Amino acid sequence: MRIEWERIRAETADPFTTSRSTNTEIERVWVRIVHGDVEGWGEADPSRYYGESAGTVEAALAEMRPAVEEADGPEPMQALERELDRRIGANRAAKAAVVAALLDLRGKSLGEPLWRLWGLDPEEAPLSSFTVGMDDPEAVAEKIDRAPDYPVLKVKLGGDRDEEILAAVRHAAPDRRIRVDANAAWSAKEALWKIRTLADHGVEFVEQPLPPEDREGLRLVRERSPLPVILDESCRTAADVPELVGLADGVNIKLAKCGGPLEALRAIHAARACGLQVMMGCMLETSLGIAPAAHLAPLLDHADLDGAALLGDDPFRGPGIGDDGRIRVSEEPGLGIERA
């Protein structure tokens, strides 16, 4: 096999703000693995929060190159994945791209989409939420007005105007399902106070109210919260899942933070074994980055796979969410992705 990569850029449709940062563009790494006349694609979506960048991704890909190019095809993938782990450690966004490309290659070689190879039914996928970044209440309401058909909204909070923003959201979307993500911005006391207000506005659940390291605070919030608590930053890989029992009602799995679709599958199974709800989310990603999660969507309780929908110029097309929130895949082999 041969592996190659290049950096790609895309602009966001609007400045995208969370309690940690504001993004107006993204830089991603497009990975291609060639075996014979078949080419598999993957995307690395690094996050500064997890200590990764396009530069660290490229350095990790260089470390993985010998293992990929010495392999005689994508099988046995489990052994190859272990070797990738040995070479790169915690550079999981880079590994996620390589594993996705290997799976795309495998699907194309067999002439089947990934969802079918995994024995899944796309019709069983939940609706995806559409994320509304932090802004002043008027701007938030305007963003919702420009996305009238999405039935589920995820609202980013974690600032001084949380209650005003939430009231503006509910006024602009009186009949839509709402979820809230604080991105670890609150204290335990603040979270319990604010979650009561969220419940009054009919919010479905709250995501990562406290910093990951505040385990006792998370336990207290989960015990007293009138809403389910889903943890994102607290859960990186499958090994983290059992430690969250008693701290959360569910976990949010992301390909870029866990290391790709195979580790995501392990995390899903771990969550089910622990009695936790399963959600999959994303970074700001192109359709190439979203595609592997879209194929796994039938295994989920909740989905937030809107990364490509938040971009102004997506360089790829394929699996993703429509304006109705439905997660769409196709009969095309592998990931089903092509250049836009």
Instruction: Assign domain 2-111 to its CATH superfamily.
Output: Enolase-like, N-terminal domain (3.30.390.10)
Sequence-ordered strand ranges (E) for the chain: 2-17, 22-35, 38-44, 130-132, 152-156, 177-181, 206-207, 229-231, 250-253, 277-280, 302-303, 316-317, 320-321, 327-328, 338-339
Residue ranges of domains in the chain: 2-111, 116-339
Q: What is the mean pLDDT of residues 291-320?
A: 97
Q: What is the mean pLDDT of residues 155-172?
A: 95
pLDDT tens profile 20-43? 899 999 999 999 999 999 999 999
State residue 89 phi and psi, 5-degree precision.
65, -120
Residue 48 has a CB neighbour count (10 Å cut-off) of: 9
Which fold is adopted by the domain 116-339? TIM Barrel (3.20.20)
Q: Would you place residue 89 in the very low, low, confident or very high pLDDT band (cuts 50, 70, 90)? A: confident
CA torsion sign for 90, 304, 309, 163 is: negative
What token pair was written down for 307? Answer: 């990364």
Rounded to whole angstroms, the maximal C-alpha distance in the chain is 59
Q: Is the pLDDT of residue 76 over 90?
A: no
pLDDT tens profile 259-293? 999 999 999 999 999 999 999 999 999 999 999 99
Please name every residue paired with 11 in a beta bridge, in sequence order, or none if there are none.
25
Please name every residue paired with 40 in a beta bridge, in sequence order, or none if there are none.
33
